[in-house]
């Protein structure tokens, strides 16, 4: 959008901007049928100093006429895996399945994941997310021994480097069976606590799932940690680990935050059972993040020449109706769990709208990529209000149908009141990490 020049100093007004009611507390209408109001946004010293109904505006260059373009707060991506991003060229998923992904990542990790490899791919991912307008991001870190000794120091350095641009959080990621090694798990929890991070695991329906969850909760309480689980990322009707997590949270009267990702099996289970599970999830104060793109890729993967019949996503509508905080997020990017993706939360929202029907009505679904994940992560982001940092994205679209139909590659990302230089890194930067299996030469 070369026609818009955002001042680099002083105060200015973004005039005639469309803000969404769900992301702008206290915004007075009138709202259009998409839930947007036309306003002038005053910005000074990197902060939003006023949001007012369209009115008298100063003359250019202090006033920039957005002609009704949509302005959203910067995005919050609460479930990613930037430690494994972009390994697809050297380690594709052999059959597109969850088991194929686990095996491929395990093999790649053993051979390639030294500190330099992890750091370069992580930095590539963060530059991409930043350019797309993301302000806060939680990544899981594969923490199966000895990887935790490599990836956690890299993460802590990366978090320092990115402070002020992306608020970076991490959650440990191990299969729940790893919790059986009590002494090792306690050491991991100490590392997580020292890094001011979040304790996590992937739950499976193991015979000892309940005692393992008890150990996770006891450890989180002992170290004062929040929790983040991957649960029921399968079409297996018998997968009810989300319910087991909720029961454990209630049993332990857990006071920290809990985020659970995926919960795919829920949408295949009988209604009565599902509603009982959701009541427990609501009572336990658990938040849920759906990862629609990764779910489409892995779930209902068939090898018999037939077409997938199931979208794989969880029951976000039913959850929201019960007051369960719900978000959507990027998940994996160009790795065996998901071959595609670019950490672009506009793409995630566009896909979620189509797959999960975030329309008719749109209501407050936009919160799923901004305000709600910000609350889940406990960061000051995801809303535009007077006094908040002027961290926002200006799009060309003036309505949801315009915004969600095009990639909006020329969006303007404003941080602390100034337009950032958006440069999406080139894949060829990573070619040398991809080994002999990959060459950019024809
Ligand atoms: O979806 C998933 C599950 C486990 N590990 C990942 O990286 N992604």
Q: Which pLDDT score, from 0 to 100, does residue 437 have?
A: 65
Domains of the chain (ranges, CATH numbers): 12-74+383-419 (2.30.40.10), 75-377 (3.20.20.140)
Contacts of 325 by beta carbon, 8 Å cutoff, 6+ apart:
287, 288, 372, 375, 376
Q: Determine contact, residues 287/257, Cβ cutoff 8 Å.
A: yes
Residue to substitute in 80, 82, 178, 202 for testing ligand 1 pocket (most ligand atoms within 8 angstroms of CB): 202
Helix axes 182-194, 147-162, angle to 10 degrees: 10
Q: CA dihedral defined by 331, 335, 338, 342, rounded to 10 degrees? A: 60
Residue 48 clears pLDDT 70, i.e. is over it: yes
Tell me: ipTM over 0.90: yes
Contacts of 87 by beta carbon, 8 Å cutoff, 6+ apart:
105, 108, 112, 121, 334, 335, 336
**Residue 291 CA, closest ligand 1 atom number:** 1
Nearest-CA residue for atom 1 of ligand 1: 337
Identify the bridge partners of residue 200 per DSSP, sorted by sequence position: 228
Tokens 């060829």 belong to 428
Q: Which pLDDT score, from 0 to 100, does residue 82 have?
A: 98
Write out pLDDT tens, residues 107-128. 999 999 999 999 999 999 999 9
Give the helix ranges, DSSP H, for 301-416.
316-321, 345-356, 371-377, 400-403
Nearest-CA residue for atom 8 of ligand 1: 337
Nearest-CA residue for atom 2 of ligand 1: 337
Write out pLDDT tens, residues 233-282. 999 999 999 999 999 999 999 999 999 999 999 999 999 999 999 999 99
Indicate the pTM of the whole model. 0.97
Confidence of residue 1 (pLDDT cuts 50, 70, 90): low
Distance 139 CA to ligand 1 centre (A): 11
Distance 177 CA to ligand 1 centre (A): 15
Distance 370 CA to ligand 1 centre (A): 22
Q: Which pLDDT score, from 0 to 100, does residue 439 have?
A: 59
- The C-alpha atoms of residue 58 and residue 214 are separated, in whole angstroms, by 61
Residues with CB under 6 A from ligand 1: 81, 84, 202, 230, 233, 294, 331-332, 337
Confidence of residue 441 (pLDDT cuts 50, 70, 90): low
Residue 11 clears pLDDT 60, i.e. is over it: yes
Q: Determine contact, residues 393/413, Cβ cutoff 8 Å.
A: yes
- Residue 65's alpha-carbon distances to 8, 59, 240, 383, in angstroms, are 16, 10, 52, 22
Q: Determine contact, residues 339/93, Cβ cutoff 8 Å.
A: yes
**Residue 335 CA, closest ligand 1 atom number:** 7
Annotated catalytic sites, by residue?
233
Across all residues in the chain, what is the average pLDDT?
A: 96
Residue to substitute in 84, 230, 301 for testing ligand 1 pocket (most ligand atoms within 8 angstroms of CB): 230
């Amino acid at each position: 959008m070369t026609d818009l020049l955002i001042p680099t100093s002083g105060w200015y007004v973004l005039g005639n901007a469309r803000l969404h009611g769900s992301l702008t507390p206290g915004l007075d209408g009138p709202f259009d049928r998409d839930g947007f109001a036309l306003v002038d946004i005053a910005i000074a010293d990197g902060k939003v100093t006023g949001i007012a109904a369209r009115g008298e505006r100063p003359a250019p260059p202090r006033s920039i006429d957005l002609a009704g373009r949509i302005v959203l707060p910067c995005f919050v991506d609460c479930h990613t895996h930037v430690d494994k991003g972009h390994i697809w060229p050297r380690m594709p998923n052999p059959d597109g399945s969850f088991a194929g992904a686990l095996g491929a990542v395990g093999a790649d990790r053993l051979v390639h994941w030294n500190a330099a490899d992890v750091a370069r791919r992580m930095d590539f991912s963060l530059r991409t997310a930043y350019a797309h307008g993301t302000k806060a991001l939680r990544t899981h870190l594969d923490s199966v021994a000895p990887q935790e000794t490599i990836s956690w120091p890299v993460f802590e350095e990366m978090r320092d480097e990115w402070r002020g641009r992306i608020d970076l959080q991490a959650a440990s990621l191990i299969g729940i069976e790893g919790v059986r090694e009590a002494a090792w798990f306690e050491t991991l929890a100490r590392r997580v606590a020292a890094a001011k991070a979040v304790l996590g695991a992937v739950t499976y329906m193991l015979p000892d799932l309940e005692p393992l969850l008890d150990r996770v909760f006891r450890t989180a309480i002992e170290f004062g940690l929040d929790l983040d689980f991957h649960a029921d990322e399968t079409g297996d009707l018998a997968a009810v680990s989300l319910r087991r997590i909720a029961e454990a949270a209630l049993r332990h009267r857990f006071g920290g935050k809990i985020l659970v990702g995926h919960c795919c099996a829920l949408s295949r289970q009988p209604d009565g059972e599902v509603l009982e599970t959701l009541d427990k999830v609501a009572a336990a104060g658990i938040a849920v993040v759906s990862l629609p793109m990764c779910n489409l890729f892995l779930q209902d993967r068939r090898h018999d020449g037939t077409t997938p019949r199931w979208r794989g996503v969880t029951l976000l509508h039913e959850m929201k109706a019960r007051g369960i905080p719900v978000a959507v997020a990027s998940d994996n990017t160009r790795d065996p769990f998901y071959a595609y993706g670019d950490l672009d939360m506009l793409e995630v929202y566009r896909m979620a709208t189509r797959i999960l029907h975030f329309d008719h009505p749109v209501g407050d679904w936009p919160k799923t990529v901004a305000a709600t994940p910000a609350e889940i992560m406990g960061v000051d982001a995801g809303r535009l209000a007077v006094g908040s940092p002027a961290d926002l994205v200006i799009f060309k679209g003036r309505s949801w149908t315009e915004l969600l139909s095009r990639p909006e590659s020329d969006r303007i990302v404003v941080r602390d009141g100034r337009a950032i230089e958006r440069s999406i890194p080139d894949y060829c930067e990573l070619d040398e990490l991809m080994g002999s299996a990959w060459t950019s030469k024809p």
